[in-house]
Amino acid sequence: MASESKSQNPHGAFDAHHPPARELIDTCVHCGFCLPACPTYALWGQEMDSPRGRIYLMKLALDGHVQMNEKWVSHFDSCLGCVACMPACPSGVDYGKLIEATRAQIERNYRRPAAEKLHRKLLFATFTKPARLNLLRWPLLAYQKTGLQFVLRALGLFKLLPKSIEAMDALLPKVRHVEAVPTITPATGGKRRRVGLLLGCVQRTFFSHVNAATLRVLAAEGCEVIAPPEQTCCGALFVHAGEETQAQELARKTIDAFEQANVETIVINAAGCGSNVKEYGHLLRDDPVYAQRAKNFSAKCRDISELLAELPARAERKPLNVRVAFHDSCHLQHAQGVRAQPRSLLAQIPGLQLAEIPEAPICCGSAGIYNLVQPQAANELGDRKAQLIAPLQPDVVATGNPGCLLQLQASLDRAGHHIPVVHTIQLLDASLRALPLDSLR
């Protein structure tokens, strides 16, 4: 990348509001151990699309040697934010904080082309509003049930449209009946814990069966579950895309909703939301009213698999004779460090056979809105994952994030392997209720 004249601004190309921290940038010793872990480096082999290259680009901008131009921004747009580079780094570079700060700077200071801006706005205006997502259910149901989707796909019409439209169609969830989530679900047997359930946006609209399965398992394991009806989006998509102000506003609302519920633990069954709410303390660090409350909130948050691993199993697991390929969501394995817990939950089910997917640390290409704004790279990563899953010949693929679930299903279908992809908790729920695998489709 060509250097440009050094600016007088002490933060270089960045503004004064939390530029990527120099002390974090300087912890990178350029060793390159993170390169093999990085999906975009694996795809393109370009230094500037690796963690080391991106950190170098941040440093150049901080020192005022480059401006936020299209080329510079493109290397950060192509980053999945999967943070697979963090566990691979022997120097402990906190790339997650660096990319979050850089993205917020880009959204404040870089003028995106109008069409791109509009596309992003539309995505946020839809995916972070459960009420709007709900309105989409009926037209989507008609689109799927009348056979229109099948015909358009069979005719190959999407190949003539922009890649982002084709990606959106491929990723559409199957519209199902919405399973209601009561505000209070009592524990079965003696109560062991009072927990709150974060409902998610896409999760509550298109995966209400996953929330229902989560409730059943929690109740069977002795948890009273509170699902505050006033909870909004947690802000995960905004944080991951650098839209800091909106993310903070939603974080405050989420904290308010759960403080009133007075719960010991807050359970999350969508890894992208989980990694976000666990970082509220950082997101609201400058807010005198919410900073401490945010830290307290984050300290209570657990992925569903983490909570169940903390509670010795009480409900009887009945046999489920299936071969399961487990996919680690990046926001679970890298951002939250949760790898063992979902596997141990699955291992509790008699008859279940676990198959490990090679290259587990590599992202499937979902990554928030990445597969909608960077469809080509996302498809390449999805295709790669499908090729690794197919030889395992699983009956089902399990994962802990709705975004990964949709991405894997679309990738497997595109490759002609119609293997169902489900949430991990659905398998445990099926085992507790002695349901066959077919009931999950």
CB of 20 to ligand SF4, least distance (A): 13
CB of 294 to ligand SF4, least distance (A): 24
Query: Which one of residues 85, 167, 251, 406 is an interface residue with ligand SF4 (CB under 6 A)?
Result: 85
Q: What are phi and psi of 253, to 5 degrees?
A: -65, -40
CB of 239 to ligand SF4, least distance (A): 14
37 vs 378, beta carbon nearer ligand SF4: 37
CB of 94 to ligand SF4, least distance (A): 10
95 vs 290, beta carbon nearer ligand SF4: 95
74 vs 91, beta carbon nearer ligand SF4: 91
337 lies in the site for ligand SF4, by CB under 6 A: no
Tokens for 256?
A: 């308010």
38 lies in the site for ligand SF4, by CB under 6 A: yes
* Stretch of residues binding ligand SF4 (CB under 6 A), selected from 26-34, 215-223, 352-360, 368-376: 26-34
CB of 364 to ligand SF4, least distance (A): 12
Query: Which one of residues 13, 60, 83, 373 is an interface residue with ligand SF4 (CB under 6 A)?
Result: 83
Show contacts with ligand SF4 in window 244-303 (CB under 6 A). Answer: none
Return the residue matching tokens 């974060």: 198
Query: In the stretch 87-106, what mask flags binding to ligand SF4 with x, by CB under 6 A?
Result: --x-x-x-x-----------
- Of the chain, the end-to-end C-alpha distance in Å amounts to 49
52 lies in the site for ligand SF4, by CB under 6 A: yes
50 vs 214, beta carbon nearer ligand SF4: 50
Burial of 26 (0-12, 13-18, 19+ CB in 10 A): exposed
Give yes or no for a contact between 2 and 51, defined as CB atoms under 8 angstroms apart. no
CB of 205 to ligand SF4, least distance (A): 28
CB of 51 to ligand SF4, least distance (A): 4
369 lies in the site for ligand SF4, by CB under 6 A: no
CB of 357 to ligand SF4, least distance (A): 18
CB under 8 Å to 153, separation ≥6 — which residues? 169
157 lies in the site for ligand SF4, by CB under 6 A: no
CB of 88 to ligand SF4, least distance (A): 6
37 vs 440, beta carbon nearer ligand SF4: 37
* Stretch of residues binding ligand SF4 (CB under 6 A), selected from 83-91, 148-156, 192-200, 243-251: 83-91
Query: Which one of residues 11, 13, 20, 40 is an interface residue with ligand SF4 (CB under 6 A)?
Result: 40
170 lies in the site for ligand SF4, by CB under 6 A: no
CB of 26 to ligand SF4, least distance (A): 10
239 lies in the site for ligand SF4, by CB under 6 A: no
Give yes or no for a contact between 263 and 300, defined as CB atoms under 8 angstroms apart. yes
Query: Which one of residues 5, 30, 114, 159 is an interface residue with ligand SF4 (CB under 6 A)?
Result: 30
Q: What are phi and psi of 325, to 5 degrees?
A: -95, 120
Amino acid (1-letter code) at residue 245: T
Which residues lie near ligand SF4 (CB under 6 A)? Answer: 28-34, 37-40, 51-52, 54-55, 79-85, 89, 91, 93, 95
